[in-house]
Chain A
């Protein structure tokens, strides 16, 4: 049933919200501490359990999947609700923060990739797999490496 998916999602979200509030109380912070993240963990655990018992049917998938697919439109609505007029003055900060973050993260990618030593490039993998299984590589370059 579709409603079981929606209900599962609702219960996980509510559990996360309650637990996040309780954590906040326990830590003496006036905040919901990690509620959304906890709810996600519950949902992943719930999914794993359903898969194991063979109960993950199309209805459940549809009930959760619909809301997952709605998340970008909902984020757009959320953005349209904010008090942007009051924050425009800090526009330069946004540009600076975003640019700095991207530069730092690009640099970190370079460092980690170098640290981990030399690995086969995509072209080399394809060339190797191409000699082993020429048909697969020819048919679909993506499929042959995802496998």
Chain B
């Protein structure tokens, strides 16, 4: 009886259950990041990977198509991670952007930002094509995922991609961020990462604030603010051009 009333309360308050559940996942990820990876891999990346893992588990258990939210008690995850709150929260991150600071990054920062969006997009879209995702919507979504794990799903939702393709774009973006976090200290010397300007170029090119800040922190703490300065614009810029100009270009190429 106690169990029945607990599950009733959790189902009736589905969104609150989701907040609590995701909170636990975040807390666990922070602990894993700190003790298992010694802070090398950012907690947010671990949390998203756990999210994808749980979606896999939910899909196996229920046989449904909506991952964890097919479990009645966790249906609130669907609302919390749905399109409405997702766009709402992502737009909110732009509030931190300071136009005056942006000017400091200058032309070279802007160039890095543009290249950092286009190069991953092309690579991702071409590889998606090679793996049989030959339609413009899937190629664009996976290409956008290679930009960042936010640009991928935002673009996928905007152009109407299927859930498995959106999952692939998130996974690509998260893995990219993790590789940046781990790989940066090893290649830092080779790519000339020892001054503020190359750090700004690095931030614009690699994207994902979490990947850039963790990677730079492991290389040279003093470079973090410079990298974060340009990386902050990465997601916004990607959300602007991936579901518009880049999608239209892919559509044109694929159709002809």
B residues near A (Cβ < 8 Å) are 18-19, 22-23, 25-26, 44, 47-48, 50-56, 58-60, 65-69, 77-78, 80-82, 85-97, 99, 108, 111-112, 115-116, 119-120, 123-124, 127-128, 131, 133, 142, 145-146, 149-150, 153-154, 157-160, 162-168, 170-173, 175-176, 179-180, 183, 187, 190-198, 201-202, 205-206, 220-223, 225, 236-241, 243-244, 247-248, 251
Q: Does the CB pair A44–B244 fall under 8 Å?
A: no
Asked if A132 lies at the interface with its beta carbon under 8 angstroms from chain B, I say: no
Q: Taking each of B91, B183, B193, which has the highest tally of chain A beta carbons within 10 Å of its own beta carbon?
A: B91
Residues of A contacting B198 in the complex (Cβ-Cβ under 8 angstroms): 109, 112-113, 119
A residues near B (Cβ < 8 Å) are 9-10, 12-13, 16-17, 20, 23, 27, 29-41, 43-44, 47-48, 61, 64-68, 70-88, 90-102, 104-110, 112-114, 116, 119-123, 125-126, 141-142, 145-146
Question: When chains A and B are docked, how far (Å) is the Cα of A16 from the Cα of B220?
Answer: 38
Residues of A contacting B162 in the complex (Cβ-Cβ under 8 angstroms): 83
Question: When chains A and B are docked, how far (Å) is the Cα of A34 from the Cα of B144?
Answer: 12
Question: When chains A and B are docked, how far (Å) is the Cα of A46 from the Cα of B22?
Answer: 31
**A37-B241, A102-B176 known; A123-B99 Cβ under 8 A:** no
Residues of A contacting B240 in the complex (Cβ-Cβ under 8 angstroms): 34, 36-38, 40-41
Q: Taking each of B23, B163, B244, which has the highest tally of chain A beta carbons within 10 Å of its own beta carbon?
A: B244
Question: When chains A and B are docked, how far (Å) is the Cα of A109 from the Cα of B134?
Answer: 30
Question: When chains A and B are docked, how far (Å) is the Cα of A146 from the Cα of B89?
Answer: 29
- Within 8 Å by CB of A142, from B164, B170, B221, lies B221
Q: Does the CB pair A122–B222 fall under 8 Å?
A: yes
From A36, which residue of chain B is reached at the shortest CB distance? B239
20 A–B contacts, CB within 8 A, in A order:
A13-B87, A34-B244, A36-B240, A37-B238, A37-B240, A79-B48, A80-B55, A81-B69, A82-B163, A83-B163, A84-B52, A87-B167, A92-B131, A97-B142, A98-B172, A101-B119, A101-B124, A102-B180, A109-B192, A113-B198
From A17, which residue of chain B is reached at the shortest CB distance? B87
Q: Does the CB pair B131–A73 fall under 8 Å?
A: no
